[in-house]
Amino acid sequence: MEVHNKNITWYVIFLMVFFLTLPSANAETQTQKQTVNINASIVDLTEFPMSYYIDGSEKMLFEEVINQQFTPSLSKLSLGTDAMITWSKIVVRNQQNVAIKLYVHHPHAYHLKHVSFYETQQNQLLNHIDIPLHKSGEKPLMYGGTAVYPFQLAPQETKIIYVKNTSFSHQWYQLSLFDEQSSKQALVGSGKYIALLVGMMLALMIYNFFLYISARKRENIVYAFYLISGTIWVALSYGVAANFFGVFSAEVFQLNSNVLSMPSFLVIFIMLIFDTRKRYPKEHFALSLLLALLVGMFCYSLFDITAALQSASSLAATMMIVTFGVAISLWRKREPLAKYFFLGHSMFILFNMLAVFYYKGLSDFNQINSHGVGIGILLEALMMAFVLSYRIKELDRIKGKQEELKRLADTDPMTELFNRRYFEKTAQQAIHEAKENQSVISIMVIDIDHFKTINDNYGHSTGDEVIISFAKLLMKHQRDIDIVCRYGGEEFLLLLPGCDNENACKVAERIRQAASEAVLIDEQQNEVTYTVSIGVHQLELSYDTTRSAIDAADKALYHAKSSGRNQVQLTQAQFDIQAQA
């Protein structure tokens, strides 16, 4: 019985030792899985196993943090808004027989408030570097927007690098591990794709500038503000400002309010481009409510940008739902531009939703997710530019049609000269200007002689050709300031600003002479000639009107016809004055 009890005792002791050592064994196994083993001289790791810990209290000291349970992960993380202070733990072992110098890269350090590196070995702190990105002044270990921490590993040596990341709102970052040469290459190539994106945005600004010069529309101004807001936000959020100008998000953090002003300009653009206020009142009401919310949040961001950014993702989702619904509604109502805007806006929403999921820690790290907002902004900006161009083209087409209708309303269709309606309206303006300037102005009435005989002998089509031929002759002899019209049938009027009766008679004589020398060949190969009679009158500006001037010149024309046709005659009173002179 005693022996049996001893056996039970030893069995219990064994089980206790086994279970007590099991977590340690598991922890050791887990640490081994999270270890980065270096077994080559070239190290180029943009993704590797590590672990992280979220300091919910935001007050823990380093000595406390290293004793916490870290969560295994890869070196690309997105943890949302509930991880303001996050610690990363990188275990690195040099399996080679030669020493090696390595570099931890933090390419997204530019958007953080604070970054710290802790180098340890066997729980002993070897080195500690703080980078206060929210303060102005020199920032150690910063190369552009990338924080680079160098450390050395002796042969078969293991070290643990802790990285403390303090965010303003959304916690997302990527850590990389390089040898010296790979580190230099990574720094040279950092930010080039985002610089290209910013460059395309700037190109769109230039394009929009020329569109505005040609169209002078409010939409172009709103689009310009959208591009400016988007470009500033992309430059800050993706490190262009840090990589190329040494400006960090923390130093100009207030400019991140552009993430709220940008959708505001987008909503205003939709209102203007589709004229929702007049044409689509329901959609306009929805957009107005959304705009009020965005403007309100933007104003709030001027006082507390950090709090405003924490809810920016949810507000962005609301904005996307409303604007997407409006785009669908306008498309269903057969708005011509809606399908193009819907296409661009769908791309904007798709990539922005990927970014929202990423920033909230709901999706994994990749280049599309992490740069979704920038990609979406660019694609929508391209489509907005197309919509603007298309609308300008449509407006020009409509304007051209309106001008063509106006031209047709003011033009004689056969001769393409101005018609009677246009002449009377324009002549009244010309007479008024002559009175104001105290200058002379003359008018002539011209009639084709024996026109009925031409129609009877050669046919009406030949008569039409005679009218067209004489109309072209008149256009050759008119000045730019003269107004010539077909007054009706075979009768024409010519108004001559700045021309007295003497010079008007000279012009009339040249026209009469050219007409008498003109020869037409009709369809039957007949030679057709014609002459014209012309009555000339210099207006008496003290009492003459358009109607009285035409009547006076018409009396002179009647005198020319009764005197044998193919001649020029002045009104009788002016003829007597000229004869006396």
- Residues 128, 132, 136, 139: is their CA dihedral positive or negative? positive
Note the pLDDT tens digit of each residue in 469-506.
999 999 998 888 999 999 988 999 999 999 998 899 99
Q: What is the pLDDT of residues 133-172, one digit of tens each?
A: 877 777 788 887 889 999 999 999 999 999 999 988 778 8
449: pLDDT confidence band, cut at 50, 70 and 90?
very high
Give me the pLDDT at residue 24, please: 40
Mean pLDDT, residues 185-202: 71
The predicted pLDDT at position 410 comes to 83
Residue 26 has pLDDT above 50, yes or no: no
pLDDT band at 224 (very low <50, low <70, confident <90, very high): confident
Residue 284 reports pLDDT greater than 90: yes
Same domain, 197 and 185: no
How confident is the model over 227-232, as a mean pLDDT?
Answer: 81
529: pLDDT strictly greater than 50:
yes
Residue ranges of E strands in 137-202: 142-143, 146-153, 158-166, 171-174, 176-178
pLDDT exceeds cutoff 60 at 466: yes
In angstroms, rounded to a whole number, what is the distance separating the alpha carbons of residues 72 and 81?
20
Do residues 162 and 211 share a domain?
no
Q: What percentage of residues in the chain have a pLDDT greater than 90?
A: 34
What pLDDT, on a 0 to 100 scale, did the predictor assign at position 536?
94
DSSP element (H, E) containing 448: strand 441-448
Q: pLDDT tens digits, residue range 246-275? A: 666 555 666 777 778 888 988 998 898 888
Write out pLDDT tens, residues 68-80: 999 999 988 888 7
Lowest mean pLDDT among 14-23, 75-84, 351-360: 14-23
Per DSSP, the three-state class of 567 is coil
User: How many domains in the chain?
Assistant: 4
Q: Is residue 29's pLDDT more than 50?
A: no
Contacts of 519 (CB under 8 A, 6+ apart): 527, 528, 529
* 409 within some domain: no
In a domain, 245, yes or no: yes
The answer on 426 and 303 residing in a single domain is no
Helix or strand (DSSP H, E) at 555: helix 546-562
Tokens of 580: 């006396």
**Which pLDDT value is given to residue 345?**
83
Residue 398, domain member (yes or no): yes
* pLDDT higher at 350 or 26: 350
Domain that residue 14 falls in = 1-32
Burial class (CB in 10 A: 0-12, 13-18, 19+), 222: buried
pLDDT at residue 32, as a whole number: 57
Residues 21 and 136 occupy one common structural domain: no
534 vs 261: which has the higher pLDDT: 534
Distance CA 388, CA 380 (A): 12
One domain, residues 434 and 300: no
- The reply to whether 425 and 395 lie within a common domain is no
Question: Is the domain of 257 the same as that of 150?
Answer: no
Q: Quick one: 495 and 453 in the same domain?
A: yes
Tell me whether residue 412 is in a domain.
no
pLDDT at 360: 67
Q: Are residues 366 and 228 in the same domain?
A: yes
| Amino acid letter, residue 424 | E
Residue 509 in this model has a pLDDT that exceeds 90: yes
Do 376 and 396 share a domain, yes or no? yes
Does residue 490 have an active-site annotation? yes
Can you give the pTM of this predicted structure? Answer: 0.57
Residues 312, 427: one domain?
no
- Among candidate residues 119, 251, 380, 490, the one labeled active-site is 490
Q: Which of 100-109, 173-182, 390-399 has the lowest mean pLDDT?
A: 390-399
